[in-house]
Amino acid sequence: MGSLPHVVEDCLGIVQVYSDGSIFRLSDDQINFRNITVKDDGSVVWKDIIYNDRNKDGKENLYLRLYKPITTKCITNKQQLPIIYFFHGGGFCVGSRTWPNCHNCCLRLSSELEALVIAPDYRLAPEYRLPAAMDDAFASIKWLQHQALSNRITYDADDDSWINHDYDRVYVIGDSSGGNIAHHLALRFGVGSPELAPVRVRGYVLMAPFFGGSLRTKSEEEGPDEPFLNMQILDRFWRLSLPIGATADHPLANPFGPLSPKLEPKKLDPLLVIVGGNELLKDRVEDYANKMKELNKDVHYFEFEEMQHGFFTNDPFSQVANMVLQEIKYFMCKTSS
């Protein structure tokens, strides 16, 4: 008799891959979020919408969550709100718009930046390996284009504030694997995002983008394990999310890998790159920003001392998060025209 199936890959206890190829995944309501509580003071309203109905039985519907501040200077002055896309992290294997850390982050972004925030889910590995997440991220922004062309973001006939936003001022923010997504969207759309008209992406914010490579950086080799991240976890994320047989030098993992597209001729909208000083990914993110600057890209790089991976998303109401928001505000102001 053969042996019973056993776990061969374990992602934080949330996703487990068995020796027979089967996959077990906890539902969002089964996950212990270790005392992360939602901080909703009522200043922002939100709702979920399907943006990609993949089949009629509804098993693969993809949702996004919309956030709108109730009262802002923009609304008071009848000005239009900017639009922010927020792509969550999780190594392409875990994460959701419904997780309390992601929800808190979007509540804060919407209220502090006075913006309509759109937080899409995307298909996760290993059930759906890359480029599935990239395809879904693209589809979520094409959804916005469809709304712009048909003027369909209207949910209450007596409340026009849902449609009081500016399709010409869209920003993409991504955390970790979401930051990787933001990079690839920037490459795909190019300057002015002409294929999205009348939607216009003005800039991209990459928070500790999850990039990889076959050669370890100094911070990866010498950096201490973080509370929720170590090199074993990072390597596992790549094994499970990249196409089978691919290495961390795959173009979707390493922007400067041997098979990656040459970035010098690419014309990109401005990038704001943020990382914590005590992150395993710090050197890789800093190297990305420096190389992009050498290629004459408009890149603004900020490193926050002593911070570890996910410091903004996991505590968006902290003092250092306030500093991050100030940098994003300045970036949005600088790139708004």
- What integer is the mean pLDDT of 20-30? 94
Contact 203, 270 (CB under 8 A): yes
Other residues' Cβ atoms within 10 Å of the Cβ of residue 37: 8
**Adjacent-strand bridge partners of 18:** 7
Q: Residue 241: what pLDDT?
A: 98
Strands 7-11 and 15-18: antiparallel
Q: Catalytic: which of 110, 279, 286, 300? A: 279
Owner of token pair 């997504």: 181
pLDDT digits (tens, 9 = 90+) for 146-177: 988 886 554 443 444 455 589 999 999 999 99
**Residue 109 in tokens:** 């972004």
Q: Catalytic: which of 176, 177, 193, 219? A: 176
Owner of token pair 């048909």: 150
Q: Catalytic: which of 88, 103, 250, 309? A: 309
**Adjacent-strand bridge partners of 15:** 11, 25
Angle made by CA atoms 182, 274, 118, in degrees to the nearest 5: 40
Chain mean pLDDT for the chain: 91
**279 classed as catalytic:** yes
Strands 15-18 and 201-207: unpaired
Q: Residue 77: what pLDDT?
A: 54
Contact 180, 211 (CB under 8 A): yes
Residue 2 pLDDT exceeds 70: no
pLDDT digits (tens, 9 = 90+) for 167-214: 999 999 999 999 999 999 999 999 999 999 999 999 999 999 999 999
- The mean-pLDDT minimum among 44-48, 150-154, 288-292, 293-297 falls in 150-154
Q: Residue 228: what pLDDT?
A: 80
**Residue 42 in tokens:** 């009522």
Q: Residue 154: what pLDDT?
A: 47
Closest CA to 137 of 65, 86, 100, 96: 86
Contact 43, 65 (CB under 8 A): no
- Compute the distance between CA of residue 270 and CA of residue 191 in angstroms, rounded to an integer: 9
**Around 174, how many Cα atoms within 13 Å sit in the side-chain half-sphere?**
29
Max mean pLDDT range (24-33, 154-163, 218-227, 316-325) = 316-325
Residues in the chain: 337
**176 classed as catalytic:** yes
Q: Residue 160: what pLDDT?
A: 46
Answer with the residue of higher pLDDT: 4 or 117.
117
Q: How far is CA 176 from CA 30, 253, 310, in A?
A: 23, 12, 8
**309 classed as catalytic:** yes
